[in-house]
Every structure is written in structure tokens, then in C-alpha cells.
Amino acid sequence: MSAERLDGRVASAALVERLRVEIAGLGFAPRLDFVRVGDDPASAYYVRSKERLATRVGVTSHTHVLPVGTTEDELLDLVGRLNAAADVDGMLVQLPLPGIDEKVVLDAIDPAKDVDGLHPINVGRLWSGRQALVPATPLGVIALCDHYGIDPTGANAVIVGRSNLVGKPLAALLLARNATVTLAHSRTRDLADVTRRADILVAAVGQPRLIRPDMVKHGAAVFDVGLTREEGVVVGDVHPGVAEVAGWLTPMPGGTGLMTVAMVIANTVTAAKRRRWLA
């Protein structure tokens, strides 16, 4: 057999179209500002793809590029100005931040504009079952489930990788959807034994082809989030052979990454509406 595709192109296109219609009906253009420091090509690429989608759906965006050597104080000053700017609905400080303490910067972002969902108050509200801005990648995984009718209720969901940006918030979201959730990671003793029990398996480590076919339950829904560049080619955490075992599989590229970009815009719309008491 061959797994059905959890096609990020299809699901994100549907989502983007819904966002475009919703934004057109708002009566104003939400504004999303990007901040990046230095000239890391991957950071520049990520920001550019989000900018492009923002423009396409009617979100105004401004990108602030600060030079290598920017101090923490200079960055905090910019964040403070964006917090204070009434017309800015969301901001995204692209990580990593060379030579700057990320925690200090994340804490300084107005939680109401924190479209990356990394401010402790958003993290805490998520885990407390409250309204929150939630990181885009985990939201994208849930949206893919919804698009393809995969119901997490009662399922064994195994997440490999415990990052603040993906693994942990996704655990909270799948738990809220009534999955039995397992968080596995580099210190997990017998990873294959854990992953083989998963009805929903998410790999978010950044270790090429970590998840081999023999580690996957027949018919499982497998989400590949990890991403590594090998000689210019993008490689996921999931071995291509998994397609022969899984029931559903995200392609790489064309899977979860596209959902992430769309969800950044969705978060911006959410932030813009809540700031105006529209949601």
C-alpha cells in the first residue's frame, strides 16, 4: 500500500482562501511586522515566504532588518515601539538572534501581538485551556488533521521532539483534542517501541530520516515537521519508505511547512480581531 498524502498545498490553499475572504470582510488590513537580525539566509527565506503570503491575502507587512552586532537594548527598543504602535497587530521576531538573549526579547513582546505564541503568558494560557496565541507549526498540524478528517479523540499521539516551538505546544493541542499524548525525545530509551504505538505520529527533531518504516504502525497518520538541508536538498525526519506503511503522510516539502506559513497569517488575523474586541 501507499499512504495518502496529507497535502499541505491543498489544505493551506483552502485555509488561505478562507483567510482572504475573512480579511476582505474586516474593513481594515491587519498589520504584521517582522523583525530579523543579521543575514542568516534561512531566516531571510522564512520571513520572505510569510511576507509574500501576507501581501497575497491582504495583510500589510513591514520587515525590520537589523544588522549583525545589534545589541539587546536596540532590539528591545524596536520591540517596544512595535508594542506601542496602535496600527501594528502582530509581530514576529525571527529566531535565532545572534548574540542576544532570546528569552528577554520574547518576554518583551506584547502578548496580544505575539503571533509566534512564545511569550510565557501565551504558553501558560494554552496549557491552562484558555484563549491564547499558539505557535503556528502545531496549529498547522491540527489544521491538517481537520482538513483530512483525522480525529485525535482517543488516539495514541506520539510527538518526537520537545521544543518550545513545536513539540510541547502540539502536546497541549492534541491533549485538548482528547488524544492520549506521549512526548518522546533524544533521551527516550527505545524510540521505535514508542513510535510503533502511535496512531498519530509527529516527527519534529531535525534529524534526517530518523523515523524508519519499521518504527511506524500500519495505517498511522504521520506528520513530518523536521527539516534539514543536505547539499541544498530539504530532507525531513521521516524516511520516504514510511509511505509504504503509514495510512497518511505529509510530503516533504509541501506538507507541514506550508501550513505553518498560513497559520502565522491566521494568528495575525486572530490578534487583530481580539485587539479590536471582534473575537
Residues lying near a second copy in the complex (CB under 8 A) = 103, 118-130, 153-156, 162, 164, 168, 171, 175, 178, 180-185, 187-189, 194
Q: Counting Cβ atoms within 10 Å, is residue 34 exposed (0-12), middle (13-18) or buried (19+)?
A: buried
Our answer to whether residue 217 is catalytic in this structure is: no
The minimum distance between CB 199 and a second copy, in angstroms, equals 9
Minimum separation from the CB atom of position 69 to a second copy (A): 27
Residue pair 258/56 in contact (Cβ under 8 Å)? The answer is no
Comparing CB distances to a second copy, the nearer of 127 and 148 is 127
- In the complex, the smallest distance separating the C-beta of residue 169 from a second copy, rounded to whole angstroms, is 8
Catalytic residue flag (residue 131): no
Q: Give the cell for residue 233.
A: 536538498
Cβ count within 10 A of residue 130: 10
CA distance 260 to 116: 10
- Sign of the dihedral through C-alpha 217, 222, 227, 233: positive
- Shortest CB 111 distance to a second copy, Å: 9
Please identify which of the residues 94, 114, 199, 224 carries the catalytic annotation.
94
With respect to a second copy, which residue has the nearer C-beta, 71 or 128?
Answer: 128
50 is catalytic: yes
Give the C-alpha separation, 78 to 67, whole Å.
13
Q: Closer to a second copy at the Cβ: 67 or 187?
A: 187
Pick the catalytic residue from 116, 199, 224, 237. Answer: 116
Q: What is the nearest approach in angstroms of a second copy to the Cβ of residue 201? A: 14
Residue numbers annotated as active site: 50, 94, 116
